[in-house]
Amino acid sequence: MHLVPPRRTFAATLAIAGALFSTHLLSQAPPPPAARLSRDITVRQDSLWTTTDIALQPGERIVFAAKGTGRCPGEAAAFGPGGIPRGFRDLLRILPVGQASRGALIGRLGESDASRPFVIGPSAEMVASTAGPLTIGLNRAENDACASEFTVHVDVYPVGDGTKGVGARQAESLDGADQALFAKLPRRVNDQQGNPGDMVNFLILGSDEGMQRTFKAAGWVIVDRDVKGALLQGVINSLSKEAYLTLPMSQLFLFNRPQDFGWAHAEPIKVVASRHHLRVWKAPFQVGSSTLWVGAATHDIGFDRDQRNNGITHKIDPEVDLERTFVEQTLTSTGLVSTYTYVTPSDPLREAKTATGGMFRSDGRVLVLRLEEPNASGQAAGGR
């Protein structure tokens, strides 16, 4: 007895052939990229930050998934990794991430004081812009007794084939940043009466748009140059972090004109007595085809007597090279700086007084940064 197999329709034959072909394609397709490492991290309750054993490289992708609950004093209900929605009284709290919820899960890359915290919450994904260890914590003040039972799963994916790392490269020199350039640049800025003041301690090569994009990405905000306008803006926007940061900055002069931009970097409330701040001027000439921005950066650490008129002024940290380093670290961490270097002019400034009479010291070097700029195809193209 012979069994006759059932006859297939033409459509059924096509379906089977298609399934076999699809299976073959799937077997030939490259597997999805595997994580370089995976970790489950429990956030400690006795410290603001928990250092992990994860060391990251620029360009690596990090994926976070968090779960658990936390509690903060004064709050009846528990909350998740997203934290507690902020209210008016939260303006009086100094939080690592000023605009994020109290108690939210946050992270930080690198060991520098300039490392900017970012929000993780229930989930997040980002590309590392700098090398260094990953640290995880809660968005709370140092004296805030918020506690958590958060567990964070972290997957780290390596830089893909052909993918350029996003970290800035330190070079021994940059085209155009030579003694001929420094011979055309003043060593110091001055006040309206012509008194010499802060030293020129950094230069940026890049477009207006690129310069502003880089500062904003690094957490700096533009400072209002009009006192009345700044105070009014602070009243109107009293719930905004920027209202505190943009308190007015005095005008100083370079190339016979006041600064084109003033930038500040600080947290709310503390900004009145302490903030990182700088001024930049657009130079009246270019370096090659690049716009040149000339900057003077100092760190306000309190109040002092203005020796010109016995008034009250901000006191700067006399070790101004620390602020130059802060500028380098915040800007290079954005992934928008292609190359940077340090240059010692032939006539370096080592020690002097500000226009208000405060002393400052330096090794005389000037930081020079070249920005990533999009080319005609829209892709970033860094210079040498």
CB neighbourhood size of 285 (10 A): 11
- Listing DSSP states for 287-332 in one string gives ETTEEEEEEEEEEEEEEEEETTTTEEEEEEPSBTHHHHHHHHHHHH
247 three-state secondary structure: coil
Sign for the CA dihedral angle at 5, 6, 10, 13 comes to: negative
CA angle 70, 110, 323 (to 5 degrees): 110
Question: What's the chain's average pLDDT?
Answer: 78
Determine the pLDDT at residue 316.
67
Write out the two tokens for 379.
Answer: 């892709």
What CA–CA distance (Å, rounded) separates 361 from 37? 45
For residues 146 and 73, the answer to whether their CB atoms sit within 8 Å is: yes
Could you read off the pLDDT of 157-170 as tens digits, one per residue?
Answer: 988 644 455 668 89
Q: For domain 37-157, which architecture applies?
A: Sandwich (2.60)
Determine the pLDDT at residue 377.
41
Could you read off the pLDDT of 245-258 as tens digits, one per residue?
Answer: 556 677 899 999 99
Helices marked H in 170-276 = 179-182, 208-217, 227-236, 241-245
Determine the pLDDT at residue 225.
60
Instruction: Flag residues of the chain having pLDDT under 50.
Output: 14, 20-27, 161-163, 227-244, 267-273, 312, 376-384
Could you read off the pLDDT of 181-199 as tens digits, one per residue?
Answer: 999 999 999 988 899 989 9
CATH 2.60.120.430 domain extents, the chain:
37-157
